[in-house]
Amino acid sequence: MIRMNQLKLPCGHGEGDLEIRILKTLKMKRTAESLTYRIVRHSVDARKKPLLYDVYTVDVSLGGGPAREKSLVSKLKNNNIQYCRPVIYRFPKAGETPMAERPVVIGAGPAGLFCTLLLARHGYRPLLIERGRPVEQRQEDIRRFWESGRLDPSSNVQFGEGGAGTFSDGKLNTLVNDKEGRAAFVLETFVKAGGPPEIMYEAKPHVGSDRLLQILPRLRAEIQAAGGEIRFETCCLGFRTEQGVLTGVETDKGLIRTHTAVLAPGHSARDTFERLFAQGVPMIQKNFAVGMRVSHPQSMIDRSQYGIDDPAQMRAMGLTAAPYKLTGKGRSGRGVYSFCMCPGGQVVNASSEPGKLAVNGMSLYARDSGRANSAIVMTVGTEEFGSDHPLAGMEFQRRLETRAWQLGQGRIPVEAYTELKEKFEQAERQDLPVCSADPQAAPPRNDAELTARPQNHAAQAAADAAIAERFAPVCIEGGWTSAPLHTLLPADMTRDFIDGMEDFGRRIKGFNGEEALVIGLESRTSSPVRIPRGEDMQSRIKGLYPCGEGAGYAGGIMSAAMDGMKTAEAIRKKYSPMAQQAGTDDK
């Protein structure tokens, strides 16, 4: 196979132009011999915008086989043309230890799903338990929450089939160095289940929440057809052990006896973290990031990134809504950066606990909402948490989310960036306290008060109307209201947030201007804890395999899925597949 890099063509080129460029670069004639190729990677070069170029990496196969391919590469003497062997993912050889009871996988996010899928395919008859509901019911629960404000703590943007990534931007890129072919396996699995084919080669692959809603039931059906079982609305309460060895998983539906459990609960399973910590499951504190979502017109981002913003011209050139990635530093020295950027997307209420509010970004496959949003966040750790306790970061999240809930009276709080900056800096000049009162001083309202409005109903309604008119469309899923977000974060973090926004405004014109809308709170960027594991992927509790983002080993759909695969491989290397047997393993 011949790997060809840096094949450039103008954006909007014709269908056959890439093949012509391949033949010309290889100094071959179209009819000389059989040639097939596949696109391995595609990106857009916008360094000379508005002159834009598609840049391809392709794998080419010649009719003469490896000998012919190596000979041609040798003659061409081109550093962008190399002979290579395809990387094919291979599940390892099975171990010899008998597996008396089927393995239990806890959590149906990407890590849990891909771990379960591999184990099912290879005869281990895994049992997957998930506290939430199947994606069809979950979708209805989330829509109801966004419309009414009534939260189901077990079925929401964080919990349910597919995990938190289902109702997000659906990005499938990863920074993991993948020499074993796991990333390609994940992408191929998505495509076979109905995902868009281009995710196999796009530099920034994107599937979209609407496509994920179609893919997940097909993955579920494949797991079940291969001998796996999935139990929804079943929550892990803890583990039974004997002399440091796992003997069972406690659930709200009873005990499941097993000596092998994969713990992949997701980054928001706070009650699970608390229960497991109380039972002695080892955990350590982990840094994460906190900040705000910032929304802009997508046309502003397109103009900055591509030099054009006309939708018809972009379609003709094969361009989709443009992304961005920004990094900077606040005056405290704290890093400020964009996270989970959603071109043409929506901001959504991603809360999972009553009386607490968090948001996330989501987009559909088309990315055509008209607005771009991204989290602008800052890394936080022990200094901000005020304690080195393993769960201190989780409590820090809760305090901020309670404050956000109170600011918005249960709705998503929003504020124009220019007003946030002006009000914060005015308080700075006057040396006034900015941060809200301690949220613990005011207990969260109950469900009956969830939709309560401030006493000055007319003034609040007018403020909301002004935001709606100024930023139409606001592209927010869930009830929202104008609120003083400049009082949400600790003052030094708000200062760093503003410093970052001003820096980014020098790189993207208008980023810190009148069209920027701030939406809070972004607090679920990653897990606040890590559950340590050894080289064999097991916790100090033998038989317990911490896995995925919730355990602190991943940061997105792809890396979580790949970590689930690594965990399945570790189980495979130790155990032989289960013998086919009737009955159940539960007692």
| Angle at alpha carbon of residue 205, lines to 198 and 369, rounded to 5° | 100
Kind plus residue range of the DSSP H or E element containing 22: helix 17-26
Q: Are 538 and 439 in contact (CB under 8 A)?
A: no
| Angle at alpha carbon of residue 293, lines to 157 and 423, rounded to 5° | 135
- The pair of structure tokens assigned to 237 is 């309460």
Kind plus residue range of the DSSP H or E element containing 17: helix 17-26
Distances 101 to 98, 126, 381, 580 between C-alpha atoms, Å = 9, 9, 40, 11
> Which among 242, 174, 216, 160 has a CA at the least distance from the CA of 543?
242
Angle between helices 110-121 and 557-574 in degrees, nearest 10: 40
Bridge partners (DSSP) of residue 520 are none
For residue 451, the model assigns a pLDDT of: 41
Positions of the chain with pLDDT lower than 50, given as ranges: 437-453, 580-587
Bridge partners (DSSP) of residue 482 are 414
Q: What is the pLDDT of residues 262-273, one digit of tens each?
A: 999 999 999 999
Q: What is the dihedral of CA 314, 316, 318, 323, to 10 degrees?
A: 0
**Measured distance CA(214)–CA(297) in Å, rounded:** 29
For residue 431, the model assigns a pLDDT of: 79
For residue 33, the model assigns a pLDDT of: 61
Is the pTM higher than 0.75? yes
Q: What is the pLDDT of residues 540-582, one digit of tens each?
A: 999 999 999 999 999 999 999 999 999 999 999 999 998 544 4
For residue 444, the model assigns a pLDDT of: 41
Q: Where are the beta strands (DSSP E) in 357-479?
A: 359-362, 371-380, 412-416, 476-477
Distances 167 to 213, 343, 569 between C-alpha atoms, Å = 9, 15, 28
Residues with Cβ within 8 Å of 349's Cβ and at least 6 positions away in sequence, in order, are: 145, 146, 157, 357, 358, 359, 412, 477, 478, 479
For residue 77, the model assigns a pLDDT of: 92
| Residue whose tokens read 């820096």 | 503
For residue 430, the model assigns a pLDDT of: 85
Give the DSSP per-residue string, 179-214.
SSSHHHHHHHHHHHTT--GGGGTBSS-B--HHHHHH
Structural domains in the chain plus CATH codes? 2-83 (3.30.70.2700), 104-283+531-574 (3.50.50.60), 288-522 (no CATH)
